[in-house]
Amino acid sequence: MQINVLHMAHFVIRYGAEKQLLNYLTFVNESPNDIRHHVCALRLSDPLREELTGMAIPFIATRLWPWNLPEFSRFVKEHDIHILHVHNQLRFPFRSRVLPKLAGVPLIVEHERGMVWNTSSTRLIKWTNGLVDANICNSYAGKIMLKQKCDIDARVIYNGVTEPCEQAEISVRLKSQLGLPENTPIAGFVGRLNNPKGAEAFIRMIPLVHQAVPQAKFVLVGDGPMRGDLENEAESLGIAEQVYFMGYQKNAFQLMKQMDVVIVPSFRESFGNVAIEAAFAQKPVVASSVDGLAEVVADGETGFLVDCTEPVDSRAKGTNRLPTTVVDGRTGEVRPPYLPNTQMLAEKVTACLQNPEMAAALGRRGYLRAKSLFSLDRFRTELDNLYRELVSRQDGRPL
């Protein structure tokens, strides 16, 4: 039996959850099976429209307000949709639960990818929990948050991250581009320059690392509303000549492969795809001990986790509304959000830069762990099994 799945999500920029979903759709499109995939794009940019068109995936672009219901219902019937897989729409239950049921969608799967941290539970969420046939989240931290805030019991399915081709030739030589000697140690940050990514913690640790490793340089790959403030802070700390802001780079993985250590200083992170990409690049990761990052980075085995003790400036440019609570990576208890401890962060980064053999061993172990736990193939298998389980249960057939 062919199972038809409709993925509901925003498709605007290739970051975070959108990047994860597009990589997954590309992967399943290249090796089709009995499960066929479709897309309901709540918002759709021209570049991602072209990407979906290029994959020949049937899609509908609609905000799915009540007046869009007839068009959406026709799409569901035309493509015989069995399952609506909703990505990161927890705070909009009318659109993601009520209207799809009115449109005749038989089964709904909700996939939490980080929205619950900034979602205030409402009566409508709790009243409509029964319309959802399965809830997924991408970390045990997410499972804790969903249960605490929304009384939702979720199944944990870790993200599947694309493993770039190891044989791909590096097209951009990072140190040559920056005019640095080949033996220059490099500590890097990869991600959006806004909260909750904690790039300010990366900047603040640099003077301490530079004092211990004077030849080291520091690279930020990514762009965002905090960039100007971060550049100003680097100037005020007297380390502007040690820091390189490279902006958004399509070849971020190639750049990571040329770093010596990758820092992920988020104060809230439902999973941490960048940490997995760094592991596939065989680089040690120094990350905040918070939420899903504490599940991705094995402390002392594939990198280091840093305790979070320093306040977040909610007034900084690029800072959205802060979550009231996050999950502590050491205890599993909820607590207020904090940035990683500057001193501890610098010590762990310094250790990786001063001990290249240790750093290489951490990176190798991280790579093996990522292939085992966080591959796209494993992710697809778990989702396929869930889809088949739900359809079989509905039809009353044995699994």
DSSP 182-228: TT--EEEEES-SSTTS-HHHHHHHHHHHHHHSTT-EEEEEB--TTHH
- Helix or strand (DSSP H, E) at 229: helix 227-236
In sequence order, the 6+-apart residues with CB closer than 8 A to the CB of 103 are 69, 72, 73, 76
Query: Is pLDDT of 298 > 50?
Result: yes
In sequence order, the 6+-apart residues with CB closer than 8 A to the CB of 185 are 213, 215, 216, 217, 260, 353
Is 174-373 CATH 2.70.240.10?
no
> What letter would DSSP give residue 374?
S
What's the CATH number for 3-160+376-395?
A: 3.40.50.2000
Which tens digit of pLDDT belongs to each residue from 66-101? 999 999 999 999 999 999 999 999 999 999 999 999
What is the gyration radius of the CA atoms in the chain, in angstroms?
22
Mean pLDDT across 264-272: 94
User: What percentage of residues in the chain have a pLDDT greater than 70?
Assistant: 96
The confidence band for 220, taking pLDDT boundaries of 50, 70 and 90, is very high
Q: Are strands 186-190 and 155-156 parallel, antiparallel or unpaired?
A: unpaired
36 by DSSP, 3-state: which? strand
How would you label 46-77 residue by residue, b for 16+ Cβ within 10 Å and e otherwise?
eebeebbeebebebbebebeeeeeeebbebbe
Instruction: Tell me if 3-160+376-395 shares its fold with 174-373.
Output: yes
In sequence order, the 6+-apart residues with CB closer than 8 A to the CB of 337 are 196, 267, 268, 290, 308, 312, 322, 323, 325, 326
Give domain limits for the chain: 3-160+376-395, 174-373
Query: Can you tell me the distance from the alpha carbon of 263 to that of 278, in angstroms, rounded to the nearest whole number?
Result: 9
φ/ψ bin of 147: left (φ > 0), alpha (ψ from -120 to 50), beta (otherwise): alpha
Which tens digit of pLDDT belongs to each residue from 270-296? 999 899 999 999 999 999 999 999 999
Assess contact for 76 and 103: CB atoms under 8 A.
yes
Q: Are strands 261-264 and 285-288 parallel, antiparallel or unpaired?
A: parallel
